[in-house]
Chain A
């Protein structure tokens, strides 16, 4: 059953149309890799899902509930947008960790702030905070950073920072976890550790949308590939199909260009 349905999303910045007729759905436990060249609209798509951009047209449905409809202003109230964002988690290209907090606090901060809105927070303060902290610790051990709880972001490597960012996004238990080129800002030797964490998540059937330039990784990990070009979804399907037998000429071009680039690089 589809946990997410994206219907006819369109988005322009001024006269530049960035997304056109974006239509896809995502099942619970499924992971999608979105590939395509820079400027094809991949990141904007993720930003629309996370309410960092407002689509001009279309609707977004999560768990059969319309959480955004461009035609219906009642779905766009600022007060509700904040809660709706929590359906999604987003891991940024540049991590965006909070520099003044320890690794553990980075992971627990948002959960602590949200807990304050619970009616029983005052009475059960200690127990609730303890629970959040335990959960933070277990997430950090899941990404292999149990020994860095008290470090500050500038003290750890980029790969470690990104793993903290993943733990931070998981802390709020989003229905759908989005990755915006999670390894693009990393030195090549650090991408492996981050990809490994994402691979693990996929094995545990975390519902994910991964925007990436790592083709081998996309092929291995994703259940489905979406190829975007010039703001449209050109082709989508299982990795085997898209990578070995693409239907569209544009996909073929992109993949061969990628292969060439890779060949040259090596």
Chain B
């Protein structure tokens, strides 16, 4: 009995790392995705192609591989940059990889959302003497958010589960922790991790539904 509580306690502690990685990734990748989206829509061709190539590479390779490249790359290439030692360096590298990866996915969702807004909205703003940034923030943005909420919600839910990939560079997240037990012949903790993810995603689903309802007061 006591052992079960100890294991649950350790699983919960390690799940905190998943949660932290999740929160930090969202915090940085959501805005970075917008910057990338603008780059991929730029009228300046070289920039547009550069950004689209980066997005292609990031979306076209496994996140697991990107984690390894970002973590081991600087050392292997004998760059002057190196990650801080210990757990903090591993966590930082994982965060950077996740932010880049997710920002690229978000950027494509944003781009689709922005391009789906009828041009008439933009022109109506122009004719009313608005600046481009006023049109974006006051007219377009909320309509874009309403449209992209379902696909963004999908990505956010995927992210919850993807955080466990951070174990590939030895971040002690929940599946890695459970794996230590299963390698010693105790299999139930591994199954139990599923409950953590399920509950987390359940809460997110409720939150996303609530947001969607909040934005249902208008049609766009």
Contact = CB atoms under 8 A, between A and B. Distances in A.
Interface in B90-125: 118, 120-121, 123-125
A97 B220 CA distance: 11
Contacts of B129: 82-83, 85-86, 110, 113-114, 172
Interface stretch (A88-96, A201-209, A210-218): A88-96
Contacts of A109: 128, 138
B130 A154 contact: no
B134 A88 contact: no
Contacts of A110: 125, 128-130
A94 B139 CA distance: 16
Interface residues of A, number: 27
Given A113-B134, A154-B219, A89 B127 contact: yes
B127 A82 contact: no
Interface in B35-69: none
Interface residues on B, range: 20 to 34
B81 interface: no
Contacts of B207: none
A100 B220 contact: yes
Contact of A99 (B131, B138, B143): B143
Nearest to B146: A100
B143 to A, nearest CB: 6
Nearest to A79: B131
Interface in B203-220: 217-220
Contacts of B121: 96, 98
Interface string A100-119: 10000000011001100000
Nearest to B134: A113
A152 interface: yes
B123 A92 contact: yes
A90 B143 contact: no
Interface in B112-169: 118, 120-121, 123-131, 134, 138-139, 142-143, 146
A160 interface: no
Interface string B11-54: 00000000000000000000000000000000000000000000
A195 B127 CA distance: 22
A52 B218 contact: no
Nearest to A84: B129
A113 B220 contact: no
Given A100-B218, A154-B218, A52 B126 contact: yes
A195 B139 CA distance: 28
A50 interface: yes
Interface of A: 50-52, 82-83, 85-86, 88-90, 92, 94, 96-100, 109-110, 113-114, 152-154, 168-169, 172
Given A85-B127, A100-B218, 13 more contacts: A52-B127, A85-B126, A94-B120, A96-B124, A98-B121, A98-B139, A100-B146, A110-B128, A110-B130, A113-B129, A114-B129, A154-B218, A154-B219
17 contacts: A52-B126, A52-B127, A82-B129, A85-B127, A92-B123, A92-B124, A96-B118, A96-B123, A98-B124, A100-B142, A110-B128, A113-B130, A113-B134, A153-B218, A154-B218, A168-B128, A172-B128
